[in-house]
Amino acid sequence: MNSRFYITTPIYYPNGEPHLGHIYTTVAADTVARYHRLNGEETFFLTGTDEHGIKMVKTAAEKKVTPRQLADEMAGSFESLWKELQITNDDFIRTPQDRHRETVQHVVNRLLENGDIYLGSYTGWYDEGQEEFVTETTAKENQYKSEINGKPLTRYEESTYFFRLKKYVPRILQHIADHPEFIQPDSRRNEVVSKLKMDVEDLSISRASLEWGIKMPNDPKHVVYVWIDALTNYITVLGYGRAGQDELMKKFWPADVHLIGKEIMWFHTVYWPAMLMSLGLELPRTVFAHGWWTADGKKMSKTLGNFIGLEQIRTLRAQYSFDAVRYYLMRAAVFGSDLDWSDREFAAAYDDLSKKLGNCLNRVTNMTARYCDNTVPAAGDLEEIDRNVLAIAEALPAKLADAYARLALQDCATLPIEVVRAVDGYIEATQPFKLKDPSQHARRNTVLNIMARGMHAALVGLLPIMPEKAAAGLKQLGVDAGGKTLSDLFKNVPDAGHKLGEGSALFPRVETAK
C-alpha cells in the first residue's frame, strides 16, 4: 500500500454556476480521497478553477463584466459550494494566483531552454468552447462545428509559439503500451492511441490576440495557451518551480489519479505527458475518464428543461440529505460509462438507504434495546445461515480495497449495501422478533449479535461514500468513527458486551418524492 496519495479533479471553467457534471467529478474524487485518508495514507486532494482563455473573455463580454469580475464571482461559487457540500479538498487553485503564474512561467522557461518551443504561425481552426485547436480533417468531418457543443469553429491566423509535441509522440505511445494503468478505463485507451498514430501536429501554445492570461516569459505580447496554463495547476499547488517551496512536490508527485470527464482525455494523456517529459518529471500513474451525464436519455439542456443544476441538487439535499445524493451519483452507472439522471433511479437508490439500510439498523437498535438492555449479546453456536452473513461482512474490506484500487466506484457504493441486503434477508429468514419463548432466547441473542456485526461492517464500508450518515449510523451502534482508520474500525466489531447508542431513523421516509 502507498503511504501517500494524490488525486485531482479538472479545474473547472468558472463561466457559469457549477452543475451536476462538476459535482459528479468532485464527489467521486472526494470519495476516493476519503477512502485513502481513512486507510491511513497521507492524502492530497486538489480542485480549483481554470479562469483564463477566450471562453471566459467571451462570457464576460456577454455579461458586460470584465473577465476578472466574472472569474472572481464564479470561482467564489465553486469554492463555497465545495465547502457547503463538505468536500474535503486540501487546496483550491485559481489560475490567476501569483503562485500559479510563477510556476507556469517557470515551466515555459524550461521548455524554451530545452529547445521545445519555437516561433511560427498558426492558420487553422479553433473550438472556443473546448479551447482546442482542430485539424483541417477533423474540422471538415464535423462540418466546421465543435464536436462537443456543435457551435461553429473559429478561424485563426496568427503568429504564435509552438511546442514540439510531435517529437514526444513515440515516447508517449511507448509509455501507454508499458503502463496499462495509465489510461483508464481500458476502453478509452484505443481512442488515444489511434489518434496519436495519425493526427499529431506541434501545438500552438501562445496567443498574441488575447490579453487575459499568463504572459509568455520570453515575449510578453503573447499569453500562454489556456491548456498549458491549466494542466500546470497540478504541480503549482505542490510548489514546482518555486524555490524553497517544493516540499509537497517531493512528497506527492507523481499524482496517483487525475480524475476527468471523457472529453478532456486527449489533453491529459498527450499534451500533459509531453510537457512532463520535457520537464523531466514523472507521469501521473492514472488518468481516469468518467462518462457524461444525460437526463432521461437526452442531453441535459436548459431549453429542454431536464438540466440538473445547482438548484435541483440543493432541493434534493434538503429533502433527502446530500449523502443520499452522493450514494445515487456513485451507484448510477459503472464508473467510466455515460450516465442518465432518472428520478425513478434516485427513488430506488433512496429506497436502498431508507428501507434497507435504515430499517435494518433500526431493527438492530430496537431489538437490542428491548431484549438485551441495549448491549450486544453473545453469540452461541453458529448455524450455516449465521456463518454466511458473517462471511459476506468479513469479505467486505478486501473487496472494497480492490474496488477502490480499480476506481470501480459503483462497486464501492453497492458492496456495503450488499452486506445490508444479506442482513435484511437474514432477519427475514430468522425472524428474531418471533423468538419470544425463553427457550429461544439463546438463538435470538445469536441472531442479534450477527445483525449488529453485519450492519457495522456495512456502515464502516460506507464511510467514504456517505460520510455523515455512515458515521451517524455507527454512532447508533455505539461506535465513534472519528480519527480511526478503516482497518481499526473493521477490526473493532461490536461483540458481546458492547453497548449500543441511541437509535433513530437514519433516512426518514420522504413524502414529497419527485
- What is the binding site for ligand MSP (CB under 6 A)? 10-13, 21-22, 24-25, 50, 230-231, 233, 260-261, 264, 292-293
What is the rounded CA–CA span in Å between residue 6 and residue 257? 7
Minimum separation from the CB atom of position 45 to ligand MSP (A): 15
C-alpha torsion angle, residues 190, 196, 199, 200 (rounded to 10): 150
Q: How far is the CB of 14 from ligand MSP (least distance, A)?
A: 8
d(C-alpha 91, C-alpha 100), whole Å? 13
Tell me whether the omega of the peptide bond preceding residue 508 falls within 30 degrees of 0, making it cis. Answer: no
What is the nearest approach in angstroms of ligand MSP to the Cβ of residue 227? 7
Q: Using the minimum distance from each CB to ligand MSP, give the nearer residue, 233 or 449.
A: 233
The Cα–Cα gap between 272 and 284 comes to 9
Q: Is 63 helix (H, G, I), strand (E, B) or coil?
A: coil
Supply the minimum distance, in Å, between the C-beta of residue 214 and ligand MSP. Answer: 14
Q: Contact at 8 Å (CB) between 286 and 256?
A: yes
- The grid cell for 437 is 419463548
Q: Please say which residue, 230 or 474, places its beta carbon nearer to ligand MSP.
A: 230
Residues 6+ apart with CB under 8 A from 384: none
Determine contact, residues 195/141, Cβ cutoff 8 Å: no
Provide the 3-class DSSP secondary structure of residue 394: helix
Q: Where would I find the beta strands (DSSP E) of 273-345? A: 286-290, 293-295, 298-299, 339-341
CB-nearer residue toward ligand MSP: 10 or 432: 10
Grid coordinates representing 91 are: 487546496
Structural element, H or E, at residue 43: strand 42-49
Select 21 or 217, whichever has its Cβ closest to ligand MSP.
21
Instruction: Look at strands 117-127 and 215-216 and give their pairing.
Output: unpaired
Nearer Cβ to ligand MSP (231/393): 231
Nearer of residues 10 and 213 to ligand MSP, judged by Cβ = 10
- Cα-trace Rg, the chain: 26
Pairing of strands 219-224, 215-216: antiparallel
Shortest distance (Å) from residue 221 CB to ligand MSP: 24
Tell me how far, at minimum, the Cβ of 39 lies from ligand MSP, in Å: 24
Q: Which is nearer to ligand MSP, 195 or 475 (CB)?
A: 195
* Residue nearest to ligand MSP as judged by C-beta position: 21
CB of 428 to ligand MSP, least distance (A): 38
Q: Name which of 312 and 362 has its Cβ closer to ligand MSP.
A: 312
Please say which residue, 8 or 354, places its beta carbon nearer to ligand MSP: 8
| CB of residue 224 to ligand MSP, shortest distance in Å | 13
Nearer to ligand MSP, 168 or 293 (CB): 293
Please state the three-class secondary structure of 274-309 as a single string: HHHHHHCCCCCCEEEEECCEEECCEECCCCCCCCCE
Q: Nearest distance from residue 363's CB to ligand MSP, in Å?
A: 38
The cell numbers describing 171, all together, are 515516447
Contacts of 77 (CB under 8 A, 6+ apart): 14, 17, 18
In angstroms, give the least distance from the CB of 144 to ligand MSP.
21
Q: Which is nearer to ligand MSP, 192 or 231 (CB)?
A: 231
**CB closer to ligand MSP out of 11 and 460:** 11
How far is C-alpha 15 from the chain's CA centre? 21
State the cell numbers at 382: 453458529
Q: How far is the CB of 60 from ligand MSP (least distance, A)?
A: 15
339: helix, strand or coil: strand
- Reduce the DSSP state of residue 419 to 3 states and report it: helix
CB 412 within 8 A of CB 403: yes
Containing 234, the helix (H) or strand (E) segment is: helix 233-236
Residue 235 near residue 272, CB atoms below 8 Å: no
Shortest gap between Cβ of 298 and ligand MSP (angstroms)? 12
